[in-house]
Amino acid sequence: MNLCTKLFALEAVLVIGTSFASADTISLNSMAGSGAVNSNTVGYAGGGPAPYTAAGPTSNVTPSTGAVWTLPTGGSQWVSIDPNSGPTGGEGPGTYDPNGTYTYTYSFTINTANDYAFLDNPLTIMADDTTDLLVNNIQIVPFGEIGTNVHCAEGQPNCIVPYTLTALQQIAFVTILNNNTTGNIVLTFDVEQTGSIYQGLDFSGGLTGIAKNNSPTPEPGSLLLLGTGMISAAGALIRRKRA
């Protein structure tokens, strides 16, 4: 095998390895905490009904069973500004969360040199009673219809069935990221409480970023086919040389 052929085969391997090794992955999982940027935690923005008018950290209120709230589907937690909220939080009629809107935020930064997409882990959301989703103040997911369910909204997002962003909502979400020039992203969830019992939020998902270039970025499958084809071509050259 001459040096040119060796380099050609090596280049094929490097194309595949570099493409996947350079991928930027961002987890979007609701976890209790301060909500500080890149802390991977959800914060409470304040402005809700008394006594929850001030901003502050959230608490993990994941229930012990899935009898009322469905348990988290990803590496996430149900979170709330009220540490005793939730079906198994120990609240009673005198401590139920009053009706109103409870606003939660999740902040992170992105690499503006990358294009992002939901590949195999699209964002799913649950809330009691329901919630919307805004990305940098642009609404992506509307509130679910409240209806007459005794636990949470009948329409999704609700506390019963995890709501997965539709294909169009995923495109709208990542379009905001991919056109962003500051690198600062804020997810806002306005949780509506109408039954005056307990409220909370859960979400999970993940983004993958690939470096931008002047031509459309190939999908991982296309890159794999390209690399395989290059290696096959290199093999053909080797066999021809030996013949």
- For 186-227, what is each residue's pLDDT tens digit? 999 999 999 878 999 999 999 999 999 843 444 555 544 445
Q: What is the mean pLDDT of the chain?
A: 84
**Each residue of 161-191: pLDDT tens digit?**
999 999 999 999 999 999 999 999 999 999 9
CA angle, 216 then 221 then 225, to 5°: 95
pLDDT of amino acid 110:
97
What's domain 29-204's architecture? Sandwich (2.60)
Report domain extents, the chain. Answer: 1-23+217-243, 29-204
Three-state DSSP at 189 gives strand
Report the C-alpha gap between 40 and 26 in whole angstroms: 10
Cβ contacts of residue 69 below 8 Å, gap of 6+? 63, 78, 86, 87, 126, 128, 151, 152, 159, 160, 200, 202
The amino acid that residue 63 corresponds to is P
End-to-end CA distance of the chain, in Å?
A: 12
Q: In the chain, what percentage of residues exceed pLDDT 70?
A: 79
pLDDT of amino acid 12:
41
Model confidence at 22, pLDDT cuts 50, 70, 90, reads low
